[in-house]
Amino acid sequence: MKNMIKSFASDNNAPVHESVIRAIAEANQGDAIGYGDDVHTLKAEQKFREQFGKDIAVYFVCTGTGANVSALDHITRSYHAVICSNKAHLHQDECGAPEKYIGCKLLRLPSEDGKIKPEQMRPLMHSLGFPHHAQPKVISITQATELGRVYSVEEIREISRFANEYDLYLHMDGARIANAAASLNVSLEEMTKFAGVDVLSFGGTKNGAMAAEAVVFFNQDLAQEYEYTRKQSMQLISKMRYISAQFSALLSNDLWLQNARHANAMAALLADKISDISGVEITQKVETNAVFAMLSPKAIEKLKRKYFFYMWDATRNEVRWMTAFNTTEEDIENFVDALKEAL
């Protein structure tokens, strides 16, 4: 990658937050028992309990794909099906890992904004009890969605009620759960446990950590023996203390929330500044830290010479610009200037 000014491609391209780096350095003293049997991990688990209540089971893993796949693998059998949106990371961006490791069918529902609704799922319930069809067992929703959109707490509750009606589990891919909570201005607990989520993939990496993700079970029965699934899924990290220390930093003094609020605010600022520029059309409501927009291929090409970002949908020249905890107002100003020049 050459001479890049700034990336607006993904919050994955942001650095690790300095408080997280400090926490890693502080944990880097002497020996600690490996695989999570250490004081740093105990402390980080406690931090999760402060957010989600005592009645949870939490396990640390190192990738979001690993969190999703191992959690879903654990709660399904191979003849089950997982319902998700056709925009789900699970379906589009996990290189077939769900198919390979979970072994389940993914039943993808069409969605423009990454959200799915109970009325779309109802027809799939006809398969229940019919031995020729994969049996729907889990609904997996992404909060915030791959399109930067957010389910309201009531929308999640509605999906959860539907799941209960048919004895399905509700999984949430929360790779950007912090951005969603900041956007809705609700607690993490309200949006997950109290809304009926059974198991959550909790994302730390996009929020300022380095390879720190977690699987949080609210349905404790489902957590039974997950530790074996985690190991089989190659997600049990030997030097766990360095992952745990990162969570302790993010979940202290609301750092997770500040980071998410800032990233969201920068996306809102970008959207505001480009909203009346002719030649750019914002395609999704900006609710978290992503701006999706359509512009001419020529302008995209020019802008890409200065900034790194992804084409989202080449068929309609739609790009994704993403902000992170480290995006500054000046970064936005410069980007908007470069955009105007490119147009």
Query: What are the tokens at 54?
Result: 């005592």
| Pick 13 or 19: Cβ nearer ligand PLP | 13
Using CB under 6 A as the binding rule, whether residue 289 contacts ligand PLP is answered as: no
| Pick 40 or 89: Cβ nearer ligand PLP | 89
Q: Greatest CA span in the chain, whole angstroms?
A: 60
* CA-angle at 186, arms to 183 and 189, nearest 5°: 125
- Interacting span for ligand PLP (CB under 6 A) from 15-23, 63-71, 177-185, 225-233: 63-71
Using CB under 6 A as the binding rule, whether residue 288 contacts ligand PLP is answered as: no
Please list every residue from 127 through 186 that binds ligand PLP, using CB under 6 A: 142, 146, 173, 175
194 neighbors 226 (Cβ within 8 angstroms): no
Using CB under 6 A as the binding rule, whether residue 207 contacts ligand PLP is answered as: no
Please list every residue from 223 through 262 that binds ligand PLP, using CB under 6 A: none
The residue type of 200 is L
- Interacting span for ligand PLP (CB under 6 A) from 13-21, 60-68, 182-190, 333-341: 60-68
Minimum CB distance to ligand PLP, residue 104 (Å):
17
| Pick 36 or 64: Cβ nearer ligand PLP | 64
Task: Rule CB under 6 A: choose which of 23, 59, 64, 327 binds ligand PLP.
Answer: 64
Minimum CB distance to ligand PLP, residue 222 (Å):
20
Separation between Cα atoms, residue 103 and residue 81, nearest integer Å: 9
Residue whose C-beta lies closest to ligand PLP: 64
332 neighbors 33 (Cβ within 8 angstroms): no
Using CB under 6 A as the binding rule, whether residue 89 contacts ligand PLP is answered as: yes
What separation in angstroms does the CA of 231 have from each of 7, 234, 237? 34, 5, 9
173 neighbors 45 (Cβ within 8 angstroms): no
Question: Exposure pattern of 35-73 as b/e (b: 16+ CB <10 Å)?
Answer: ebebebbebbbebbeebbeeebbbbbbbbbbbbbbbbbb
Beta-carbon neighbour count of residue 219 at 10 Å? 17
One symbol per residue from 11 to 50: x for binding ligand PLP (CB under 6 A), - otherwise; what is it?
-x--------------------------------------
Using CB under 6 A as the binding rule, whether residue 63 contacts ligand PLP is answered as: yes
Separation between Cα atoms, residue 195 and residue 175, nearest integer Å: 18
- The SS3 assignment for 230 reads helix
- Interacting span for ligand PLP (CB under 6 A) from 23-31, 61-69, 116-124, 161-169: 61-69
Minimum CB distance to ligand PLP, residue 9 (Å):
11
Phi-psi region of 3 (alpha: psi -120 to 50; beta: other; left: phi over 0): left
Residues that contact ligand PLP, how many (by CB under 6 A): 10
Minimum CB distance to ligand PLP, residue 266 (Å):
18
Contact residues toward ligand PLP (CB under 6 A) are 12, 63-65, 89, 142, 146, 173, 175, 205
